[in-house]
Amino acid sequence: MNKKDIRKGIIPYVVLIVIMLAVIYFFNVLNVKVNELTYDKFVASLNNNEVKEITIVPSIDEGIYDISGQLKDYSEKESFHVQVPLSEEVMKYIATANEKYDFEINTKGDPNGSMWIVVILNFLPLIIIGVLMFFIVSKQVGGNNKSFDFGKSRAKLDDSQKKVTFNEVAGLKEEKEELKELIDFLKNPKKFQKLGARIPKGVLLVGPPGTGKTLLARAVAGEANVPFYYISGSDFVELFVGVGASRVRDMFRQAKHNAPCLIFIDEIDAVGRQRGTGLGGGHDEREQTLNQLLTEMDGFGANEGIIIIAATNRADVLDPALLRPGRFDRQVTVNLPDVKAREEILEVHARNKILDKNVTLSNLAKRTPGFSGADLENLLNEAALLAVRRNKDAITMSEVDEATDRVLMGPAKKSKKYTDEEKRMEKRLVSYHEAGHVVLGLKLNSANIVQKVTIIPRSYAGGYAMMVPKEEKYTQTKRELLEQITGLLGGRVSEELNFGEITTGAHNDFEKATKIARAMVTEYGMSDLGPVQLEHQSEGVFLGRDYNKSRNFSDIVAHEIDEEIRKIVGECYQKATEILKANADLVKLIANALLERETLTKEQIEYLVEHKELPEDTTFEDMTLDELKDLAKDKNIKGYSKLSKDELIRLLEANDIEPTDATDLKDEEKEEK
């Protein structure tokens, strides 16, 4: 903690102490009772021995003494005050009474000095408090504090030295082509104005989270080399009604001074939701902010040279007035990347990482369908962290596989080891469950193939099979959907056939299968109910997901829908049963392999199906000393040449190097020869 922070922490306590002292002082002053006595009453008190003490002070007025003190019957906070003539007779009279009754006498000279003491004692605390309050208020108003700048725009100007360009944006070829027109307009607006063309005032980027909408907006600003303001939709809305509208006006005022420029509003659904909807009615602050934004974008005033780019993953909740031509004229959908786009994204994120020569990004892209750009970046980052944790010099496929599993299902629960008793029960059951998925993936042409299967617990699952489609397509046939459902039911069918018992392990499989079957009946028209759409998303966007589906059918049709769903799932279950009964030996073979290895890859499964056994594992003990040294040399391990065989084995195991790497090394030597 620096000195500045320490001072900031002490100041509030100092102010509190001063205020408490001032309150105590004024409390004591207010509680003191002063009685004004006449000269005759004062003399009578002297004669009757009623005076306890007196203080004599020359008054500012000439010829008068100010005498104050206490009488014997006064309380502690009670005193008297009297003015007497300035004469020797009076002083002699007081001295005579003092000799007779022996009370205390105090004298003070310099009445002007007394006056200054009174002024200081009475007004100094007020002055100190005033100075402190002025200091605190000035610090709040000035500096970096924004407590009084309610109506100022929260939009920040991107002044970073490193500009993002389209080279850093991978996998969005069509989206970049759409936005290049904006860049041309910002660089050369006269070319468009010459033919009377009007560039879109707003571009809305719509897509799932993590697909690169914000990165795309930054790249547009970097390519155009114009001022780039960025703000979040939630920065407009405040507690006080009207503040958001004021911030919108101030944001456009700043943008006009720097036109041509770009304004990027992230998560615009926070301020651009439909007006007057929801169970609780409208929201005055948000609606006023939205009204001001609509006016600024396309109202009576003209905002030439200002282009707004907004991003959201909930375009269905936006107000229709915001999406009309003249405001957000153009919508650019940023979808999840396909296999080619995923490979390009991986190449961008792998630029600053050291990958082993066995890591092929094209194969990794094929194994990650449904991953967004953010997911792929996270995957490579997790792989790098694992490589550092294992003290490796490069990221190998072992780290990539583990990172993929961590992103999908979370870290492996290695502490949840199976005992010998559990191996005969739970582990065996999980193995047969996953083997059912594998066999159906192999035997059905359109079912999802199993890329990897494991019985190591992760998250809430005792094991899982990574199932990916054989090829990515925009449309699917009825047969493909039915075979996907059949593949999902393979785990439960395998449990029932081999153990005569069922478990809760298939609940996620049933969830996915039922969702596909319901969509076939109510949305795709792939049932005996005919080619009709019975359910669709309604416009009540604030009623919640469960209330959001419009049911334009009777209770009789609802019963028929349920019957059709049960019929589809039942037929697929029966088909899965027939296939697994016919391939019982293959199920048993794969289940036993899982019990032995715990994890099988697609290549190992294919080898097992062809040769009816797994390839033999190479161990370090089977290798010669020269082979161990060659392997250590290939893996860039220092100090290997003078080590014994046992020392080399311990070193290779500490670096998490697999003995199978030596086989790859021999194959490379053969190719070189």
Question: Quick one: which H or E segment has residue 57?
Answer: strand 51-58
Most trustworthy range by pLDDT among 38-42, 64-68, 505-509: 505-509
Whole-number pLDDT of residue 539: 44
Rounded CA-CA distance 235/202 in Å is 19
| Residue 566 predicted with pLDDT over 90 | yes
Residue found by looking up tokens 């006080």 in the block: 240
Average pLDDT of the chain to the nearest whole number = 76
Q: Is 9's pLDDT higher than 60?
A: no
Task: Please write down the long-range contacts of 636-640, taking CB distance under 8 Å and 24 or more positions apart.
Answer: 636/393
Closest CA to 642 of 630, 631, 629, 653: 629
Cα distance between residue 447 and residue 481, in whole Å? 8
Question: Which residue in 296, 382, 426, 434 is the catalytic one?
Answer: 434
pLDDT confidence band for 63 (50 / 70 / 90): low
3-class SS of residue 453: strand
Average pLDDT of span 485-506: 89
Strands 306-312 vs 202-206: parallel, antiparallel or unpaired: parallel
Q: What is the mean pLDDT of residues 105-124?
A: 59
- Closest-CA residue to 462 (of 411, 424, 413): 413
Q: Higher pLDDT residue, 41 or 479?
A: 479
Name the residue with tokens 């306890």.
52
Sign of CA dihedral 642, 645, 650, 651: positive
pLDDT grade for 657, boundaries at 50, 70 and 90: low
- What percent of the chain is predicted at pLDDT more than 70? 72
> Looking at per-residue confidence, does 160 or 363 come out higher?
363
599: three-class secondary structure by DSSP: strand
* pLDDT band (50, 70, 90) for residue 577: very high
Whole-number CA gyration radius for the chain: 42
C-alpha 550: how far from chain center = 33
With tokens 């990221």, the residue in question is 395
pLDDT for the residue 516: 92
Assess whether pLDDT exceeds 70 at residue 502. Answer: yes
Quick one: average pLDDT of 498-518? 88
Pick the residue with more confidence: 488 or 187?
Answer: 488
Banded pLDDT at 25 (limits 50, 70, 90) = low
Rounded-to-integer distance, Cα 633 and Cα 637, Å: 6
Give dist(CA 175, CA 215) in Å, integer: 12
Q: Is the predicted pLDDT of residue 29 greater than 60, yes or no?
A: no
Is residue 105 within a helix (H) or strand (E), and if so which, with residue range?
strand 104-107
- 347: annotated active-site residue: no
Q: Say which residue, 25 or 434, is predicted with more confidence.
A: 434
Residues 627 and 375: their CA atoms lie apart, in Å, by: 39
| Pairing mode of beta strands 156-157, 228-232 | antiparallel
**Amino acid 551: pLDDT:** 65
279 — pLDDT class (breaks 50, 70, 90): very low
Q: What is the DSSP string of 143-194?
A: TT--TT-TTS---EE---SS---GGG--S-HHHHHHHHHHHHHHH-HHHHHH
The pLDDT value recorded for residue 281 is: 47
Average pLDDT over residues 623-641: 72
**Residue 575 vs residue 231, higher pLDDT:** 575
Cis peptide leading into residue 260 (ω within 30°)? yes
Q: Of the candidates 488, 471, 481, which has an alpha carbon nearest to the alpha carbon of residue 434? A: 488
Share of the chain above pLDDT 90, in %: 7
Report pLDDT for 670.
45
Q: Residue 425: which pLDDT band, with cuts at 50, 70 and 90?
A: confident
